[in-house]
Each structure stands twice: as structure tokens, then as C-alpha cells.
């Protein structure tokens, strides 16, 4: 597994955890939406706008399964969505470090 695959595995695991967090505490969607709003304000118009709009729609909906499907899709679009996702902040630093360590371990094992 190369470095990009390692990052993809980490991102997928991070989003799995973020979805678990949202299922337990749906009110945290507001935190991800705030992150997204801050990014848009700071960045201005970018090529990510279309994807950020999609995140905004998903996070604004009460349909956690649609959000999970988009965040965890193992497709090119899913990978692209995760690359500009505001959901990483829903997972604490300790857990993020553990997930990264696991992803690195998967690389070493292959």
C-alpha cells in the first residue's frame, strides 16, 4: 500500500468514526456546518464549492444514512468528498492519532 492508499484508509476510518459520533450526538452536525461556513468565508470561490455545497446539504438534512453513504462511499466521488470534508473535527485528536497509527500499520503489514 502506498502513501496515498494509507491516507485514503485513514480518511475512510476517520469518517466512519465521525458518523458514529453523529449517530450518538446529532447536534454536532452544527459544528461541521460551522467549519464548512468558516472555510467558505476564508477561501472565497474555489473548485471545492460544488463539493462543499453537497456537504452542506447532507449535514443540513436529518438523514444520517444519506450522510453515511456519501461520507463512506468507496468510489472516486466518495474519496473526493472526504478530501474536502468538514467532518474531521468531530473526532478528537487522540482518536485521530490512533486511526492514523492503524492506517500506517496496515501499510507496514502489506
pTM: 0.87
For the packed helices 49-60 and 64-72, what is the interaxial angle rounded to 10 degrees? 150
Q: What pLDDT, in 10s, does the model give residues 4-50?
A: 788 888 999 999 999 999 999 999 999 999 999 999 999 988 999 99
Residues 71/18, Cβ–Cβ less than 8 Å: yes
Task: Note the pLDDT of residue 110.
Answer: 54
Q: Is 82 helix (H, G, I), strand (E, B) or coil?
A: helix
From the CB of residue 4, how many other CB atoms can be counted at a distance below 10 Å? Answer: 9
**Chain centre distance of CA 84:** 7
Task: Note the pLDDT of residue 105.
Answer: 77
Residue ranges of the domains in the chain? 3-109
Amino acid at each position: 500500500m502506498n502513501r496515498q492508499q494509507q491516507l485514503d484508509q485513514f480518511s475512510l476510518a476517520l469518517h466512519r468514526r465521525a458518523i458514529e459520533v453523529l449517530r450518538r450526538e446529532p447536534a454536532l452536525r452544527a459544528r461541521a456546518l460551522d467549519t464548512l461556513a468558516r472555510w467558505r468565508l476564508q477561501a472565497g470561490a474555489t473548485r471545492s464549492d460544488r463539493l462543499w455545497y453537497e456537504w452542506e446539504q447532507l449535514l443540513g438534512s436529518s438523514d444520517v444514512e444519506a450522510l453515511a453513504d456519501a461520507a463512506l462511499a468507496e468510489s472516486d466521488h466518495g474519496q473526493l468528498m472526504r478530501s474536502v470534508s468538514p467532518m474531521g473535527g468531530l473526532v478528537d485528536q487522540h482518536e485521530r492519532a490512533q486511526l492514523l497509527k492503524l492506517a500506517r500499520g496496515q501499510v507496514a503489514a502489506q
